[in-house]
Amino acid sequence: MELLPVDKAETTTTARATVRLWRPARRVLVTRVAGHLDDQCATVIEAIARRVVAEDGRIMGFHDWEEMTDYDSRARARLTEMARDFGKGNEGAHFLVRSKLVGLGIQAASVVMPGMRVHPTRVDFEAALRECIQQRSRPA
C-alpha cells in the first residue's frame, strides 16, 4: 500500500523545501517534508491541519520528516502553537526523522505536548500509519 501517493498529495515547493500533505482517512493528516522547513511551508501545514480539525473535530498527524534537514524557528513556533491550540482535538503525532537537530526539536516539544512519538525506522512509522488508517476505515 502506497502511504503517500504523490498524485493525491497537496504539494508546496519553496526555495528551501518541498512539502506534501495527504489525508488518507478521517482525522488523519500525513506530511512529508524534504529540505529546510520554512515558515511558508509551516503555514501550509497549519492551514490544512486546521481544516482537518474544523471538518473532523480531531486530528492525528503522521509526519515523514526523514528528508527534512532543518527548520526555521518561526516554523517550529507556528506548528507548536497550532498543536497547543488544538488541545484535546489533537490526538497525537508520529514522526520519522533522520536529522538529530529535528529530532531534538520534537523531543523538546513533547515535554509540553504529550502524545508525540518518534519512530526509529520507516517500517515502524509506516506500520503505525497503516494501523491508524485501518482503524479509521472500519465502520463504527
Q: Is the dihedral of CA 49, 121, 68, 76 positive or negative?
A: positive
User: Looking at residue 9, what is its pLDDT?
Assistant: 84
Whether 17 contacts 49, CB under 8 Å: no
CATH of domain 9-137: 3.30.750.24
User: Looking at residue 111, what is its pLDDT?
Assistant: 77
Q: What is the pTM of this model?
A: 0.90
pLDDT digits (tens, 9 = 90+) for 59-96: 999 999 999 999 999 999 999 899 888 888 889 999 99
User: Looking at residue 94, what is its pLDDT?
Assistant: 96
**Which residues of the chain fall short of a pLDDT of 70?**
1-7, 138-140
**Bridge partners, residue 17, by sequence:** 35
User: Looking at residue 1, what is its pLDDT?
Assistant: 42
